[in-house]
Amino acid sequence: MRQAFKWIAIALGCLIFIIGIAAVVLYSIGRSRLNQTYNVDVAAVPIDNRPETLERGKHLVEAVVACGECHGEGLRGRAFFNEPAIGTVVSTNLTGGKGGVVGTYSNADWIRAIRHGIGPTGKLLLVMPAQHFQNMSTADLGAVIAYLKTVPPVDNVPPATELTPLTYILIALGQFDDIIPAEYIDHNAPLPEAPPAGATEIYGEYLVNMATCRVCHGEELAGGQAGPGEPIGPNLTPSGELGGWTQSDFFQLMRTGQTPSGRQINDFMPWRYYGQMTDMELAAIWLYLQSLEPAQTPINLAGGS
C-alpha cells in the first residue's frame, strides 16, 4: 500500500513538472513572438496643412475611423481592455502632451503605425487595427496624419500593457492571432484609391473597410466579438435584425444608439463617433450593408448576446 502511494506521488510529481516546463516554454515562445521586430518599406504619403485637409482628417478621426474609441477622449491613451485572466491592454497617448508620442513622430512613423501596425522601433503594435486602416486612400491617410499633428496636447502617461502568463501561453498556442495585425497584413499592399464620395454602395464599402466595424461585427459582418468577454457585435447582413429595418431606423441607431424597438444599445458600439458621419456617409453605409449576401451568424455567437 505504502509503496503504491509512493509511486503515484512520484508519477504525479513528474506530470506536474512536465506541465510546468511546457508552460514555461510556451510562455517564452509567446513573449518572443510579441517582441519580434519588423522592418517594412513605408510608402510616401503627401501630407499638407491646407484647412480642407485638416478638416477632412478631423472628420475621419472623429466620425469614421474613430481612433478615440480605443485611444480615449482627446486621444489621451487609456487602458481600454481589462480582464483579470487576460490582462490590461493600454493604448498610446496620441497627443503632443506629456506621455504622448506626437513630438517624437516622423511622417514615416505615423504611416508605419497606422498602415502596418508597427511602432517606431520596429516592434509590433498589439490590437492596433492596421489591417483595416490599410484600406485608407493616400489622400485620406495624409489628412488623418495632418490632423493628428494638430490635436491639442493632453498630459497623460498611460500605464504599460500587462498581459498575464496565461495570455502569453495562449498567444504561443495561436489563440490571439487576430490581435497581432503586423504578422498577417500584406506589408506590400499598395495604398488603395478612394471611390468618388457619394451615397453609393461602393463608397459605403470604402467607409466600412477603413472603419473598424469588422473588429466587432466579424470579418463578414455576420456577427463577431472584439475580444474575450466583450459584447457580441450582431449580424449586420440582411439576415440579421437589419433585414427588417428602414434607412431611418439605421440612422437613428447610428446617431442615438436606439433600436427601432426603443432599446438603448450597449455603449461599446461606438455610435457616439459614427453618429457624427454625414447623411451621405450613413446612407452609403446603409446601401452597402443592404447589398451584402445574407449570412448566417457564426454558431458560437448566435443567441449569445
The answer to whether residue 241 forms part of the interface with ligand HEC (CB under 6 A) is: yes
285: contact with ligand HEC by CB under 6 A: yes
Q: Measuring CA to CA, how many Å separate 253 from each of 179, 257, 270?
A: 28, 4, 11
> Binding pattern to ligand HEC, positions 5-44, x when CB under 6 A?
----------------------------------------
Q: How far is the CB of 10 from ligand HEC (least distance, A)?
A: 44
Q: Nearest distance from residue 201's CB to ligand HEC, in Å?
A: 14
Q: Rule CB under 6 A: choose which of 67, 163, 182, 284 binds ligand HEC.
A: 67
User: Which 198-217 residues touch ligand HEC, going by CB under 6 A?
Assistant: 208, 211-213, 215-217
The interface region with ligand HEC, picked from 40-48, 91-99, 162-170, 198-206 by CB under 6 A, is 91-99
Q: Which is nearer to ligand HEC, 23 or 62 (CB)?
A: 62
Neighbours of 190 (CB within 10 A): 9
CB of 162 to ligand HEC, least distance (A): 11
Query: Under the criterion CB under 6 A, does residue 101 sit at the interface with ligand HEC?
Result: yes
CA distance 59 to 127: 23
- Binding status of residue 69 toward ligand HEC by CB under 6 A: yes
Q: Using CB under 6 A, which of the segments 10-18, 118-126, 180-188, 296-304 binds ligand HEC?
A: 118-126
Grid coordinates in use for 255? 446617431
Q: Which stretch binds ligand HEC (CB under 6 A): 6-14, 163-171, 181-189, 267-275?
A: 267-275
What span, in angstroms and rounded, lies between the C-alpha atoms of 216 and 256? 19
Query: Which residue from 30, 172, 270, 283 is in contact with ligand HEC, where contact means CB under 6 A?
Result: 270
b/e per residue 252-266 (b: at least 16 CB within 10 A): bbbbebeeeeeeeee
Q: Is 274 in the site for ligand HEC (CB under 6 A)?
A: yes
Among 100, 116, 240, 252, binds ligand HEC (CB under 6 A): 240
> What are the distances in angstroms from CA 277 to CA 37, 185, 246, 292, 296?
37, 28, 18, 21, 28
d(CA 73, CA 137): 25
CB < 8 Å & 24+ apart, contacts of 53-57: 53/142, 53/143, 53/146, 53/147, 54/143, 54/146, 54/147, 54/150, 56/139, 56/140, 56/143, 56/147, 57/143, 57/144, 57/145, 57/146, 57/147, 57/148
Other CB atoms closer than 10 Å to residue 145's CB: what's the count?
21
Residue 27: CB minimum distance to ligand HEC, A:
18
Determine the straight-line distance between the first and last CA of the chain, rounded to whole angstroms.
53
Using alpha carbons only, how large is the chain's radius of gyration in Å? 22
Name the minimum Å distance from CB 91 to ligand HEC.
Answer: 4
Which of 71, 76, 115, 116 is the binder for ligand HEC (CB under 6 A)? Answer: 71
CB of 66 to ligand HEC, least distance (A): 6
Tell me, rounded to whole angstroms, the distance of Cα 156 from its chain centroid.
Answer: 22
- Residues making contact with ligand HEC (CB under 6 A): 65, 67, 69-71, 89, 91-92, 94, 101, 113-114, 119-120, 125-129, 133, 144, 148, 161, 208, 211-213, 215-217, 226, 231, 233-234, 236, 240-242, 253, 259, 265-266, 268-270, 274, 285
